[in-house]
Chains A and B, each alone.
Chain A
Amino acid sequence: MNIEKRQIIDSNVLSGEYYFASILEEAYTCGLLNDSDMENVQFQCIELLANKSGEYYAGGSSSIRAELAQSIMKSNLYTVGMYLKSLSDPDYAVSEIKKGRISAMYQKGRELVYRKYRNTKLLYELVQKNKINVLNYSYNATLNDDGIGIFFRSYNQDYEAHESPASIDYQLCNPVNDLAGVEFIQKYLENLFLENEFCRSFAARDIHLLLGGYDKGYKDLLINIFQRVLTAALGSCLLNRKTVKLQISQEEIEGLYMVLSEDDLQSLAPRINRAVEKLFADLNITDLSLRTYIEKSLPDIQSNIAHAVNTNTLDKLFASSTDPDISSKIQFYSGIKMDDEKYRELIDELLVCRYSSDKLALIRDKVKAFGDMEDLLLDAELSEEDMFAIFDILADIEIAALIKRHPFNSDIQAEDLSEAEQALHLYLKKYINRLPENRQEEIFQIVNYLID
């Protein structure tokens, strides 16, 4: 029989971020601390703040800006809270507050902050090693030295221990709430490590195809990769495949819909749980922390599946794989540009030409590269008639390349353009509108296939 000590303070109601303040509040409410204890704690905290402020200015200033004092105070409380969290239970922490000195607790907390910082740095290196090879911008930017890496250069353990100075855009499947400072970064990295660990069960190419099926422009989206991969893997398990694969065909999605549409929310849960067990077995996931993390991620996925079944949009959830690179397969090379000196001579000649036909003849004769043609359209102060004459001699692919590089912007975006660029946009748009519809379509199709 397990006998557990009865706790007066419920640790579940304590804040992870403001642990010290919340434990004081709870202890005061439960009667473990009285008014005199609270005043004593408050006085000691002010004393600690006064010492830390003195240290901050190296004794050179007797006063301090209120917002800076507030920040140092928060940092002190955070550090003391870190020590109290490390104790066996909240009741013991309260007894420590009652009989111990706040400055001594701060020193112990400060050591813990330093130790946590070092462990977190090691964890950061591990996460960088197990990161997945994926094109998503927010994922890669968060994991590089200008993302979370900033934290290890900027974290101020003495005066801003409660802050997490880092650029973190990538959203986790299970976001880190109720933590601050180094604890937040540590938890974030722990979760990211587990997400990476799971995603590494699949080939990077398969993940790329899966995310491409979700959205061709997935590299710019703020999506959680792990959740997409786990959903697809669960889909695979729901199909009772022998091996877990991320790719699900349209027919299989329809089959899944038939099966899942028979379930309500209650009967869906055991089905998903069975799929998860199969997933653990098939991928040989034995790590308890990873299993727990996956189980923690299930409620969201389960409600997404239920919603998709209700709205008949399973094909959006289990997106069939698409290679986002296939559609953009035309690479346009503009050729080698002419010498600057020769280009200036050509522009001078064009500027003195009176007739469009003369200008056109010059251009035909001297311009051999698309890049030069593009520059010339901007520099040669051409009229509408001249421009149309030049567009007439261009092939569809060249017109498409011009559109790709000078898209028909809205009026608001056009305000940022130079006068010459605005003129080129205007004439190009007018020219395209005059073309027969089928040629317009052909040109725009090429535009879509062109690589930036």
Chain B
Amino acid sequence: MAFGIMDISSSLIEKQAVEEIAKCNEYTSRYGLTLSHRDAVELFETRTFALKSNGRIEFAGGIIDKIIRGFCDSPFLSMHNYCETLHELIEIFYFYKNETLDLLSDDDLLEFMKISFDSTCQGSLELLAGRELANMARNLRCGYHPDYVEFLLNVKDDDSEY
């Protein structure tokens, strides 16, 4: 009998996680956002896929309910893009857990994502993943503060060109 850590049956975890996601409807319904059981199962599948493709392991239901509770009050979410946005946010979250070298806790990363999504990105997931999070991750890897901006250096460079 193989004795590995990747072989654990995830059915129990899945059941718990789907229940937790479904429970979030009680909280998010005040913002007019709800998920069906099928949506919850699909979100869990996305989470499993994102974990695998990013080479990560999670022992409990994880981050989905935190994402839901964190983002449900965003002015850029409505029923027509809610579920789709959650799928994207889950993938982005795990990708940037790796890119930030686990230097940020889950809560700090989610807070950064939420603030950027609502403010500078104006609800654009492309800007969130491709600009704000990419800059922040680079800053962390280089030892700067996550909010460090290089615009002063860029302005100087631009001036010298003219």
| A residues whose Cβ falls under 8 Å from a Cβ of B | 21, 24-25, 28, 35, 38, 42-43, 45-46, 49-50, 53, 57, 60-67, 69-70, 73
Residues of A within 8 A of B108 (CB): 60
A45 to B1, CA, bound (A): 15
How many interface residues does B have (CB within 8 Å)? 23
* A62 and B1 form a contact (CB under 8 A): no
* A66 and B55 form a contact (CB under 8 A): yes
| B residues whose Cβ falls under 8 Å from a Cβ of A | 1, 3, 5-8, 51, 55-60, 62-63, 94, 97-98, 102, 105-108
CB distance from B15 to the nearest CB of A (A): 16
With known contacts A62-B63, A63-B97, A66-B56, A24–B105 Cβ distance under 8 A: no
Task: Specify the chain B residue showing the minimal Cβ separation from A20.
Answer: B3
Residue from the list B3, B5, B7, B102 in contact with A61, Cβ < 8 A = B102
Residues of B within 8 A of A65 (CB): 55-57, 98, 102
* A49 and B102 form a contact (CB under 8 A): no
Residues of A within 8 A of B51 (CB): 63
Residue from the list B3, B8, B60, B98 in contact with A62, Cβ < 8 A = B60
Excluding A25-B3, A38-B3, A69-B5, 16 further A-B contacts by CB distance (< 8 Å) are A21-B3, A24-B3, A42-B8, A46-B5, A49-B5, A50-B59, A60-B107, A60-B108, A61-B106, A62-B63, A63-B51, A63-B62, A63-B63, A63-B94, A65-B98, A66-B56
> Which interface residue of B3, B105, B107 has the most chain A CB atoms within 10 A?
B3
Task: Specify the chain A residue showing the minimal Cβ separation from B62.
Answer: A62
Task: Specify the chain B residue showing the minimal Cβ separation from A59.
Answer: B105
Residues of A within 8 A of B7 (CB): 42
A42 to B58, CA, bound (A): 16
Residues of B within 8 A of A46 (CB): 5, 8, 59
Can you give 17 A-B contacts (C-beta < 8 A)? A24-B3, A35-B1, A38-B1, A38-B3, A45-B5, A50-B59, A50-B60, A57-B102, A57-B105, A63-B57, A63-B58, A63-B63, A63-B97, A64-B57, A65-B55, A65-B56, A69-B57
A35 to B60, CA, bound (A): 24
* A49 and B55 form a contact (CB under 8 A): no
> Which interface residue of B59, B63, B102 has the most chain A CB atoms within 10 A?
B59
A392 to B51, CA, bound (A): 75
Chain A contact residues: helix, strand, loop or mixed: helix
Residue from the list A35, A50, A60 in contact with B106, Cβ < 8 A = A60
Residues of A within 8 A of B57 (CB): 53, 63-66, 69
Residues of B within 8 A of A69 (CB): 5, 57
Task: Specify the chain A residue showing the minimal Cβ separation from B57.
Answer: A69
Residues of B within 8 A of A50 (CB): 59-60
CB distance from B19 to the nearest CB of A (A): 17
A62 to B64, CA, bound (A): 11
Task: Specify the chain A residue showing the minimal Cβ separation from B97.
Answer: A63
* A61 and B59 form a contact (CB under 8 A): no
CB distance from A38 to the nearest CB of B (A): 5
* A62 and B106 form a contact (CB under 8 A): yes
CB distance from A37 to the nearest CB of B (A): 10
CB distance from A14 to the nearest CB of B (A): 15
* B1 and A28 form a contact (CB under 8 A): yes
Task: Specify the chain A residue showing the minimal Cβ separation from B109.
Answer: A61
Residues of A within 8 A of B1 (CB): 28, 35, 38
Residues of B within 8 A of A49 (CB): 5, 59
Q: Which 5 A-B pairs have the closest CB atoms?
A: A60-B105, A50-B59, A63-B58, A63-B56, A66-B55
> Which interface residue of A24, A57, A69 has the most chain B CB atoms within 10 A?
A69
Residues of A within 8 A of B63 (CB): 62-63
Residues of B within 8 A of A43 (CB): 8
Task: Specify the chain A residue showing the minimal Cβ separation from B94.
Answer: A63
Task: Specify the chain B residue showing the minimal Cβ separation from A58.
Answer: B105
A57 to B104, CA, bound (A): 10
Residues of A within 8 A of B105 (CB): 57, 60-61
A43 to B9, CA, bound (A): 9
A42 to B4, CA, bound (A): 8
CB distance from B76 to the nearest CB of A (A): 25
A53 to B97, CA, bound (A): 15
* B58 and A62 form a contact (CB under 8 A): yes
A69 to B5, CA, bound (A): 8
CB distance from B17 to the nearest CB of A (A): 11
CB distance from B137 to the nearest CB of A (A): 15
